[in-house]
Amino acid sequence: MLAFVLTLVLLLSIVIVLAYAERKVAAFMQDRLGPTEAGPYGSLQSVLDVLKLLQKEDIVPAAADKNLFKLAPILIFAAVFAGFAVIPFTPDLVPAGIGIGVFYLLAIISLDVVGLLMAGWGSNNKYAMLGAMRSVAQIVSYEIPAGLAILSAVMICQSLDFQEISYQQGALMNRFPGLEFEMNWLFGIEALGINTTTIGGITTWNIFRAPILLISFIIYFIASLAESNRAPFDIPEAESELVAGFHVEYSGFRFAILFLAEYSMMVLVCLVAVILFLGSWNTPLPNIGPVSLAYWTTGTVGELSGILWGGFWLLSKTFVLLFLQLQIRWTYPRLRVDQLMHLCWKVLTPIALGVVLIAGIWRLLMI
């Protein structure tokens, strides 16, 4: 229960900061100021927006299917929030450390699609229904290249446990005996005679251990934008065509829940990318000779230093990816639906299949 409350509080804090950051990033890229009046530099604007939404009238359309309409936002947010249960925030802090965390995550966030369809159908609005159908088609399609990219990382690491994958990408190898051997098949760097197991830092991240995973990371990141309905893949919420997409009929608290679910999904996909490809909670700083930066900036397992350093590095990398998502939104124009599907089925999916094949061959040859 404590882990649930802490995760929820952390998520709400990140979403509030992210909503404010998005406005400021958009303002900077468009040569304007953004929020300025509510608090120092407009920093309280997101908090006031939440309070405003909570005070708005909760309207349910007369012609809507009331049960589906009311249940949809809860299901959408619950599906996304449940995914955080298997995310290792530090070497010792995992809300629910299960050995099949990757499989669980892919399964649970798939329920998001059901909630979106319920929101569109339950609204009894043609624009909401069109937006829901677009969302379902887009998310189901882009789950395939995203899943294949994740599969390639799982094949390299030989584990479905997010925490074990995290330990494989750093200098802390004491919890899982035998990983020292596993780390010895580092490819480009190990071939130079450099023992990256003791160096740690960025040299042990998956995208450097197996450079083919750099392609997987790019595929996953692109697909995650579509999974989150973020521009340039925001066709389900195309305001010029559909008013607001599947949530056009929602207001007040229920709209706030849908808004929270979208931003929570952004945070979740970035956390997964960091854990699978970018070293998770491990430090990017390597040991250089007698200067043991990797050990100093990782802390000790079981102590407060390990929790603080692990949380700091995980959230820092996550915020870098979130900032990249915000930049992309205000940089690229929205794709047409045919372009969106062409990118998924004829570009990302074939490349992802090739990466999975290469990852399997690579794993067989290097152990």
Per-residue pLDDT tens for 286-338?
A: 888 788 888 888 877 777 788 889 999 999 999 999 999 999 988 888 888 88
pLDDT at position 103: 94
pLDDT at position 2: 75
pLDDT at position 176: 38
Residues of the chain with pLDDT under 50: 174-193
Cα separation values, 304 from 49, 149, 279, 331, Å: 35, 34, 20, 40
Note the Cα 191 to chain centre separation in Å: 32
pLDDT at position 174: 37
CB within 8 Å of 112: residues ≥ 6 apart: 76, 79, 80, 139, 261, 265
Taking the C-alpha atoms of residue 209 and residue 145, their distance in angstroms, rounded to an integer, is 21
**Residues in a beta bridge with 292:** 287
pLDDT at position 23: 92
pLDDT at position 334: 86
Q: Is the link from the previous residue into 95 a cis peptide, with omega within 30 of 0?
A: no
Taking the C-alpha atoms of residue 334 and residue 339, their distance in angstroms, rounded to an integer, is 10
Dihedral of CA 67/70/76/78: which sign?
negative
Terminal Cα distance for the chain, rounded: 41
Taking the C-alpha atoms of residue 319 and residue 20, their distance in angstroms, rounded to an integer, is 13
- Residue 281 and residue 310 in contact, taking contact as beta carbons nearer than 8 Å: yes
Number of other CB atoms surrounding residue 327 within 10 Å: 14
Taking the C-alpha atoms of residue 102 and residue 36, their distance in angstroms, rounded to an integer, is 41
pLDDT at position 307: 85
pLDDT at position 364: 86
Instruction: Fill in the amino acid letter for 179.
Output: L
CB within 8 Å of 178: residues ≥ 6 apart: none
pLDDT at position 189: 46
pLDDT at position 193: 45
Q: How many residues would you count in the chain? A: 367
Taking the C-alpha atoms of residue 28 and residue 6, their distance in angstroms, rounded to an integer, is 33
